[in-house]
Structure formats: structure tokens, C-alpha cells
Amino acid sequence: MSFMTLSSGKSLWRGYEYYKNNRVCYKSIKSDTEIEGKVVGNGKTYTVVIDTEHPRKSKCNCPHADGKHIICKHMVALYFATFPKVAEAYYNEVIAYEEEQERIQSEMEEKVIDYINSLKKDELRQKLFEVLFDGPEWMFNRFYRENIEW
């Protein structure tokens, strides 16, 4: 498995932000697969060693990763600082995904609006009753609290 596929989405994004904000203050290539570095965290500088061939062997002395076989944001930041083209590709993928999600959301909103506008008044009332009475209980309770006087 690759370094990026073993990282959580949150660690990837935070690591990317650390990389872009120049929080990698030192890096040294130790071998073809091992990179050592220092990454500035929140008030502390962490010692990081990443192994690109065996990512789970990477180490960081931050509280999140110390003594565990996980990929933390400091490791990701060092990885991106070492491989900036990979960082750029990752960022472009994130942006493309977000744009696609926005497009899908907009299409869905348009379809809902078109559907609602196509209904006659009685049909719309019936749909509203169905949602309030047959939909999730939280929906009816919220509607009741907001619209019915005690």
C-alpha cells in the first residue's frame, strides 16, 4: 500500500496544509526510501522519519503517532515537502472532487425545485403531510415545536 492510501483523509489534508504553510523546517534524504525531517506543530517541533517503501514503519514523536503504526499529518507534510508534484496532484484531486460534489448538489437542488413547482396545491399538501407524518420522527417533532403554540 502507498503512503497516501494509508493516511486518513484528515491527516492528508492537515499534512497538505502544514506543507503549504512551510512547517517542514528540515528534511534530509537518508536513503532511496527513508527521509528524516523536522515539522513544526502547534508550539512544538516534531522529529519525523518516513519510509516510502514501508509507510507503516514511519515514525513521528507527536502524541497522535508516537509508538503507533499510523500516518500522521507531520509525516504527510514531510512526504509532500519531499514530493511536491504528488502534493500538487493531491490538491488538484481534492479540488476536482469538491467541484463535482457542488455540481451534483446544484443539479439535485434544481430537480427538487422543478419537482415542487410541478405539483398542484393539493399534491404539494399531500407530500408535505407524508413527510411530516411518515418521515423521520425528528422532523415532525421539530415542525411541531416550531409551529404549534402550546
| pLDDT tens for the 150 residues of the chain, in order | 688 889 999 999 999 999 999 999 999 999 999 999 999 988 899 999 999 999 999 999 999 898 898 999 999 999 999 999 999 999 999 999 999 999 999 999 999 899 999 989 999 998 888 877 776 676 667 666 666 664
Q: How many domains does the chain have?
A: 2
Helix (H) / strand (E) containing 18: helix 9-20
Residue 49 in contact with residue 33, Cβ under 8 Å?
no
Question: Is residue 101, in this structure, part of any structural domain at all?
Answer: no
DSSP sequence for 87-103? HHHHHHHHHHHHHHHHH
Domain that holds residue 33: 3-85
Query: What is the pTM (predicted TM-score) of this model?
Result: 0.76
72 with 127, same domain: the answer is no
Q: Are strands 24-29 and 45-51 parallel, antiparallel or unpaired?
A: unpaired
Both 13 and 70 in a single domain? yes
Question: Does residue 73 share a domain with residue 16?
Answer: yes
Do the domain assignments include residue 50? yes
